[in-house]
């Protein structure tokens, strides 16, 4: 267990649903990340937060809406998703955003959009 938890672990939703993914880190880190992992594609960075401020939005469609109420919690709100959004969504955290700040990953949420 790396100290980063994600809920739910599995989620199936229709294209008209609204759902949220939750990430919590117990490591005292200041930076948190959302990644998308699709089959046979490289891991894609979606959002970065540092001290609750969004520092990167990697051209993510607006149907994905992140929220970071504090340094320990990160949410990804989903609405009107498309089937191609089905993927494993990984959360990660690190002490800082430097290259020597190791990112610790959660187990992921497997999302299926019908």
Partner 1 sequence: AQTVTQSQPEMSVQEAETVTLSCTYDTSESDYYLFWYKQPPSRQMILVIRQEAYKQQNATENRFSVNFQKAAKSFSLKISDSQLGDAAMYFCAYRSALKFRDDKIIFGKGTRLHILP
Site membership for partner 1, residue 108 (CB under 8 A) = yes
Map the footprint of partner 1 across residues 16-45, applying CB under 8 A: 40-43, 45
Chain position carrying tokens 């809406």? 65
Count other Cβ atoms within 10 Å, centred on residue 73: 14
CB 109, CB 89: distance < 8 Å: yes
Q: Which of 57, 102, 112, 114 binds partner 1 (CB under 8 A)?
A: 102
Map the footprint of partner 1 across residues 36-95, applying CB under 8 A: 40-43, 45, 48, 50, 55-56, 58, 88, 90, 92
Instruction: Select from 59, 57, 52, 55 the least CA-distant residue to 25.
Output: 52
Nearer to partner 1, 75 or 105 (CB): 105
CB 13, CB 114: distance < 8 Å: yes
Nearer to partner 1, 17 or 104 (CB): 104
Chain position carrying tokens 């299926």? 112
| Chain residues that interact with partner 1, rule: CB under 8 A | 1-2, 40-43, 45, 48, 50, 55-56, 58, 88, 90, 92, 97-100, 102-108
């Amino acid at each position: 267990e790396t100290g980063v938890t994600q809920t739910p672990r599995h989620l199936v939703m229709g294209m008209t649903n609204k759902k949220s993914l939750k990430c919590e880190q117990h490591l005292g880190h200041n930076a948190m990340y959302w990644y998308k992992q699709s089959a046979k594609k490289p891991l894609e960075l979606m959002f970065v937060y540092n001290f609750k401020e969004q520092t990167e939005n990697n051209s993510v469609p607006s149907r994905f809406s992140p929220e970071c109420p504090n340094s320990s919690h990160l949410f990804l709100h989903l609405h009107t998703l498309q089937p191609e959004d089905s993927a494993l969504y990984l959360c990660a955290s690190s002490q800082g955003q430097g290259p020597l700040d190791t990112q610790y990953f959660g187990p992921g949420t497997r999302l299926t959009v019908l």
